[in-house]
Amino acid sequence: MRAAVPRPPRARLRVAGALLIAVGVPLLLFLGYLALPVFWRGNQDLYEAIESSDLPRVERLLQQGADPNSRSRGFQFLRVGTRDRRRYFEEAPLIRAIRVREPEIAEALIAAGADVDARDPEGQSAVALAAQYGQTTVVTRLREKGAKE
């Protein structure tokens, strides 16, 4: 029987590198595939659910990790049929929910960690906007969470 000849250090590095590539590349592709909808769509699904007054969908999106503060529209330059190619929505999701008169959705966003001090493009606070629209439960919830104005 012959004794096993030890491999030189360079050969071990080649094997380790090949294994790293064989495992790492598919792993990176898979992680990229999981993150692609976030980059592609941004927070557009959440805004669409708010606009359509779909509370169960808003709650589901928030449970799946939608950011209650993100105004991102995703990669707009990749959308051929979209006229509005701005990268961000003008108002935060909380402000949008208050503006479309959906207090239940606003409360779900607040519970998910929405910025209670959010302001609309004109500088009006979420508390003032909710009070203006007569959404007393939202005003109360905002105050409980520490809204300043």
Domain carrying residue 49:
42-144
Confidence of residue 84 (pLDDT cuts 50, 70, 90): low
Q: State whether 20 and 77 are in the same domain.
A: no
Domain count, the chain: 2
Taking the C-alpha atoms of residue 109 and residue 62, their distance in angstroms, rounded to an integer, is 8
Question: In DSSP terms, which residues pair with 119 in a beta bridge?
Answer: 125
Tokens of 99: 């503006």
Q: State whether 18 and 66 are in the same domain.
A: no
Q: State whether 56 and 129 are in the same domain.
A: yes
Quote the longest CA-to-CA distance of the chain. Answer: 90
Q: State whether 140 and 116 are in the same domain.
A: yes
Q: Calculate mean pLDDT across residues 121-144.
A: 92
Asked whether the beta carbons of 125 and 138 are under 8 A apart, the reply is: no
pTM of the model: 0.68
Q: What is the CATH number of the domain that holds 48?
A: 1.25.40.20
Q: State whether 131 and 74 are in the same domain.
A: yes
**What digits encode the pLDDT tens for the residues 92-114?**
999 999 999 999 999 999 999 99
Burial pattern 37-70, b for ≥16 Cβ within 10 A else e, equals: ebeebbbbbbbebbeeeebebbbebbeeebbbeb
